[in-house]
Structure 1
């Protein structure tokens, strides 16, 4: 139940999308369960986008990451930095914004993309002397 409560704001954010998207993914990295999703910003309803200051555009993607303690599933306050690289080697820096709602903490980053652009993400997660790296790939499509 604690996991559901901690993830509720993020789940509500993505439950409000206009059409289906790739399901949220999770990786265990060291002491953390890291939940992540990448999606087009156009899938976010205008009112929710406005609340979170998300620019809706058919060429703008959104990355959402939450970090939970693996043992008790409590949201963790961390520092994130990272980038996304396309197949041509062009790199895009990700600037994350922390969102705190009750006990939930998640991080949002926006980035531009082109149709059928496959991006490789590398995100460094830091908390004190604990460092982990999240790597994943996602292909964006223009609607």
Structure 2
């Protein structure tokens, strides 16, 4: 009887640990979830994440250096009515809380109907950045502003 109780307790403990691992992985995923702001006639989607999340093959194909101290800023601009990807000019800066500013140089990537604008950003663990990203098409110019804290994934 005691052996059966121990077996059940061990099984419950393993299930509990699996549940905790699932919750932690969901929380980690939500920290990197894509975000969106509607600016004028556009839906501007943005995400900033550490480059080791890219496979070596993907990073190499786009000329991105994988490092736990490098982030990738990914912007996509869609027409808010049609949802069609927009060819725009994207530029911007990332300023840390000490006021040090880094210019972001975006590279346009077209993949089928999708268009992405990618920029590398070096960072230190737990460094917070305030981003100002200008999106322009002809005379229409909008500015995306957001803040994000970066973490080094050991």
| TM-score bracket relative to the smaller structure | 0.7 to 0.9
Q: Displacement of 1:53 after TM fit?
A: 1.2
Q: Deviations over 1:49-92 (max 9, x none)?
A: 11111110011110000000001000000001100000100000
Residue among 110, 117, 134 paired with 2:127: 117
1:95 to 96, 102, 105: 105
1:68 is paired with a residue whose SS is: strand
| Mapped partners of 1:46, 1:136: distance in 2 | 28
TM-score by length of 1: 0.85
- Distance in 1 of aligned mates of 2:63 and 2:34: 21
* Mapped partners of 2:151, 2:35: distance in 1: 19
Q: Secondary structure at the match of 1:50?
A: helix
**Distance apart, 1:42 and its partner CA:** 1.0
Matches of 1:68 and 1:25 in 2, distance apart?
13
Give the Cα–Cα distance (whole angstroms) in 1 for the partners of residues 72 and 114 of structure 2. Answer: 18
Aligned residues: 125
- The aligned counterpart of 1:81 is 91
State which drifts further: 19-28 or 102-111.
19-28
How far apart in 1 are the matches of 2:49 and 2:112?
A: 24
RMSD: 1.0
Runs of 4+ in 1 over 2 A off after TM superposition: none
String of CA shifts for 1:109-129, please: whole Å, max 9, x gaps: 001000000000000100001
The runs of 5 or more residues in structure 2 that have no matched partner are 1-27
* SS in structure 1 at match of 2:148: strand
Richer in helix (by share): 2
Larger relative contact order, structure 1 or 2 (CA cutoff 8 Å, min sep 6): 1
